[in-house]
A and B are shown apart, each in its own frame.
Chain A
Amino acid sequence: MVAQCVDGDVDAYATLVRRYEAAVYATAYCYVGRYGAAEDVAQEAFFAAYRSLPRLRDPARFGVWLRETTSRTAANWLRRHSGRLQTETPLPSRQTISIEDAREGPRGLLERQERYERVQAAIDALPERYRLPVVLRYLQELSYDEIAAFVGESRDEVRGALQRAGRLLREYLKAHDRPEEGETGWRRVRE
Chain B
Amino acid sequence: MASCSRVESLMQAHIDAELSPAERLVVEQHVAECPQCAVLLREFQAASVLLFETLADDRLPRSLAMPVMHGLPEMAVRDRGDLAGVNWRAKHPSSRTAAMRRRIPIAAAVVLTVLAVVIQYNWPERPVPNASAIGVVTQVTGDAYHAAGPHASTGRAALKAFIEPGATLQTGSNGTMMAAFAGPTYLKLNRNSRLVVKNDRRFELAHGEAWLNVGRNGHRFVVHTPSGDVRVLGTAFVVQADATATTVTVAEGEVHLESAADRQALVVVTRGRRATISRRGSPTAPMDASVRTATAWAEAIVPDREAHTLFLDVVQSRAGATLELPGMVVWRIPTTQGDEAWAVSALRIYWDPTPATASHCSYEVYVYDGNMRPLFRDHVDGSVFDDADGGFYEVRAPAGPIRGVNALTVRLVPDFSTGAVEPTLSVKALAH
A and B, one complex?
A: yes
Q: How far is the CB of A83 from chain B (nearest CB, A)?
A: 14
A22 CA to B322 CA, complexed, in Å: 22
A38 CA to B60 CA, complexed, in Å: 9
Among A60-68, A74-82, A162-170, the stretch that binds chain B is A162-170
Q: Which residues of B contact A165 (CB under 8 A)?
A: 12
**Given A106-B417, A173-B47, are A162 and B16 also a contact pair (CB < 8 Å)?**
yes
State the interface size on chain A (CB cutoff 8 A).
75
**Given A17-B68, A105-B416, A182-B373, are A190 and B51 also a contact pair (CB < 8 Å)?**
no
* Chain A, residue nearest B9 (CB): A163
Is B364 a contact of A21 with CB atoms below 8 Å? no
Is A169 a contact of B47 with CB atoms below 8 Å? yes
Q: Which residues of A contact B326 (CB under 8 A)?
A: 97, 102, 106, 109
Minimum-distance CB pairs A-B, first 5? A166-B12, A92-B324, A170-B47, A138-B51, A119-B54
A115 touches which of B54, B324, B325 (Cβ 8 Å): B54
Task: With a 10 A CB-CB cut-off, give which of A110, A140, A170 has the most chain B CB atoms.
Answer: A170
Q: Which residues of B contact A10 (CB under 8 A)?
A: 69, 72, 74-75, 78, 86
Could you pull out 8 A-B pairs where Cβ atoms are within 8 angstroms? A14-B69, A18-B63, A25-B60, A29-B58, A46-B64, A107-B417, A141-B52, A174-B47
Is A51 a contact of B109 with CB atoms below 8 Å? yes
Is B109 a contact of A166 with CB atoms below 8 Å? no
Is B48 a contact of A138 with CB atoms below 8 Å? yes
A16 CA to B278 CA, complexed, in Å: 58
The answer to whether B21 has its CB under 8 Å from any CB of chain A is no
A160 CA to B54 CA, complexed, in Å: 23
Q: How far is the CB of B181 from chain A (nearest CB, A)?
A: 17
Q: Which residues of B contact A122 (CB under 8 A)?
A: 51
Is A159 a contact of B69 with CB atoms below 8 Å? no
Q: Which residues of B contact A163 (CB under 8 A)?
A: 9-13
The answer to whether A152 has its CB under 8 Å from any CB of chain B is no
Q: Which residues of A contact B54 (CB under 8 A)?
A: 115-116, 119
Task: With a 10 A CB-CB cut-off, give which of A7, A106, A159 has the most chain B CB atoms.
Answer: A106
* Chain A, residue nearest B327 (CB): A106
A54 touches which of B12, B64, B102 (Cβ 8 Å): B102
Task: With a 10 A CB-CB cut-off, give which of A42, A102, A140 has the most chain B CB atoms.
Answer: A102
Is A21 a contact of B60 with CB atoms below 8 Å? yes
CB within 8 Å of A: which B43-93 residues: 43-44, 46-48, 50-52, 54-55, 57-61, 63-65, 67-69, 71-72, 74-75, 78, 86-90, 93
Q: Which residues of B contact A90 (CB under 8 A)?
A: 371-372, 409
A117 CA to B360 CA, complexed, in Å: 29
A14 touches which of B65, B413, B414 (Cβ 8 Å): B65
The answer to whether B321 has its CB under 8 Å from any CB of chain A is yes
A187 CA to B411 CA, complexed, in Å: 14
Q: Interface size class for chain B?
A: 35 or more
B65 touches which of A17, A105, A107, A138 (Cβ 8 Å): A17
CB within 8 Å of B: which A6-54 residues: 6-10, 13-14, 17-18, 21-22, 24-26, 29, 33, 36, 38-39, 42-43, 46-47, 50-51, 53-54
Chain A interface SS verdict (over half): helix
Is B325 a contact of A8 with CB atoms below 8 Å? no
Is A92 a contact of B218 with CB atoms below 8 Å? yes
Is A17 a contact of B18 with CB atoms below 8 Å? no
The answer to whether A154 has its CB under 8 Å from any CB of chain B is no
A26 CA to B55 CA, complexed, in Å: 11
The answer to whether B105 has its CB under 8 Å from any CB of chain A is yes
Is A9 a contact of B87 with CB atoms below 8 Å? yes
The answer to whether A72 has its CB under 8 Å from any CB of chain B is no
Is B102 a contact of A92 with CB atoms below 8 Å? no
17 new A-B contacts, CB < 8 A, other than A113-B325, A144-B13, A167-B8, are A8-B89, A10-B74, A10-B78, A14-B65, A18-B63, A54-B103, A97-B234, A97-B325, A97-B326, A105-B415, A106-B325, A106-B414, A137-B16, A138-B51, A139-B58, A166-B11, A173-B46
A189 CA to B216 CA, complexed, in Å: 17
A169 CA to B48 CA, complexed, in Å: 9
A167 CA to B13 CA, complexed, in Å: 12
Q: How far is the CB of B235 from chain A (nearest CB, A)?
A: 7
Is A106 a contact of B372 with CB atoms below 8 Å? no
* Chain B, residue nearest A92 (CB): B324
A125 CA to B51 CA, complexed, in Å: 14
* Chain A, residue nearest B234 (CB): A102
A97 CA to B217 CA, complexed, in Å: 9
Q: Which residues of A contact B216 (CB under 8 A)?
A: 97, 102
Q: How far is the CB of B302 from chain A (nearest CB, A)?
A: 19
**Given A99-B252, A170-B44, are A50 and B72 also a contact pair (CB < 8 Å)?**
yes
The answer to whether B330 has its CB under 8 Å from any CB of chain A is yes
Is A47 a contact of B60 with CB atoms below 8 Å? no
Q: Which residues of A contact B413 (CB under 8 A)?
A: 106, 109-110
